[in-house]
Amino acid sequence: MATTTKALARTALTTTTGTTLYTVPSATTTVISNIVLSNTAATSSTFTIAIDGVSLASAVSMPANSVTTIDLKQVLEATKTITGGASTTAVSIHISGVEIA
C-alpha cells in the first residue's frame, strides 16, 4: 500500500455550499488531517463544509481578513466526498491529508 501525503484541495470557495471540493479516488482510503480557511474580504463571511454528506461546519462566521483552522483525523473510503461553499468567493480553503492506495 502506497501512502501519499498531499493537498487534497486548495481553492477559492464558490457561493454554492454543495460544491464538491474533493472525491476519494477508487481503491483508495483518505485521512483528512486539517482544513484551513482564509477570508481575505474586508467584511465577515460564512463557510459551510460537509464530509460524506454530514455537516462539519454550517454557516460558520469568519471575521474580515482572518484564518480558521480545523484539526481533525477523519477517514473517508473510496468515492466519498468533501463539499463546501461560502458566502463570498473571498474565502479560500486548503485541505490536507493522506491517501492510502
Model pTM? 0.94
CATH of 3-100, one of 1.10.760.10, 3.30.930.10, 3.90.1170.50, 2.60.120.340: 2.60.120.340
For the chain, the three-class secondary structure string (H helix, E strand, C coil) is: CCEEEEEEEEEECCCCCCEEEEECCCCCEEEEEEEEEEECCCCCEEEEEEECCEEEEEEEEECCCEEEEEEEEEEECCCCEEEEEECCCCEEEEEEEEEEC
Mean pLDDT, residues 75-101 taken together: 98
The pLDDT score that the predictor gives to residue 1 is: 81
Mean pLDDT, residues 84-89 taken together: 97
Where do the domains of the chain lie? 3-100
Summarised one tens digit per residue, pLDDT across range 51-71 is 999 999 999 999 999 999 999
